Amino acid sequence: MTDGAADRAGGGADAGRDPGLQPERTRLAWRRTTLSSTVAAVLAVRTALHGGATAAGIVVCALCCALWLGFLRVAHLRIRTLESGAGPARVPPVLAVRQAAVAVLCTVALAVCAAVLVF
């Protein structure tokens, strides 16, 4: 009984699993973000191919798909890192700044594509 209370408080270093399920919640947050980026990419493709498939439209469309794939790759790598964890306590490492920067750059580039498409 007392062991359970200690585990719930999150104090035990040998606790098998984090009671707050932090890595799982973070993994789901990445999933949600991937879904949002999918919606944005689908809207981009719809806009690009709306008025007939011009050459420029197809190029921007391919660019948006590439950005979406880049985002998906970052999310996938991060989710795998979260799942594997590091060390015997399975403490997941901090998000690499480079991964965060790549995710943000994909978002910004998508917005730039959007501005080009809208014009």
Partner 1 sequence: MIDFVRNVRLWFAPEEVRREGHTPDYRFSLANERTFLAWLRTALALIGGGFAVDQFLPHLRWAWRIGLALALLAAGVLCSLRAVNHWVRCERAMRRGEDLPASRFPALLSIVVAVVAVAMVVVVLAGWAG
Q: Which residues contact partner 1 by CB under 8 A? A: 10, 18, 20, 22-23, 25-26, 29-30, 32-33, 36-37, 39-40, 43-44, 46-47, 50, 91-92, 94-98, 100-101, 103-104, 107-108, 110-112, 114-115, 117-119
CB of 103 to partner 1, least distance (A): 6
Nearer to partner 1, 58 or 91 (CB): 91
Per DSSP, 119 falls in state -
Handedness of CA 65, 67, 68, 73 (dihedral sign): positive
Nearer to partner 1, 25 or 59 (CB): 25
Spatial CB neighbours of 45, under 8 Å, sequence gap ≥ 6: 61, 64, 65
- Written as one letter, the residue type at 91 is V
Provide the minimum distance between the beta carbon of 66 and partner 1 in the complex, in angstroms, as a whole number: 16
Q: Of 1 and 115, which CB lies nearer to partner 1 in the complex structure? A: 115
User: Angle between the 22-48 and 55-84 helix axes, to the nearest 10 degrees?
Assistant: 170
Closest by alpha carbon to 58, among 41, 42, 43, 45? Answer: 45
For partner 1, give the closer residue by CB, 1 or 92. Answer: 92
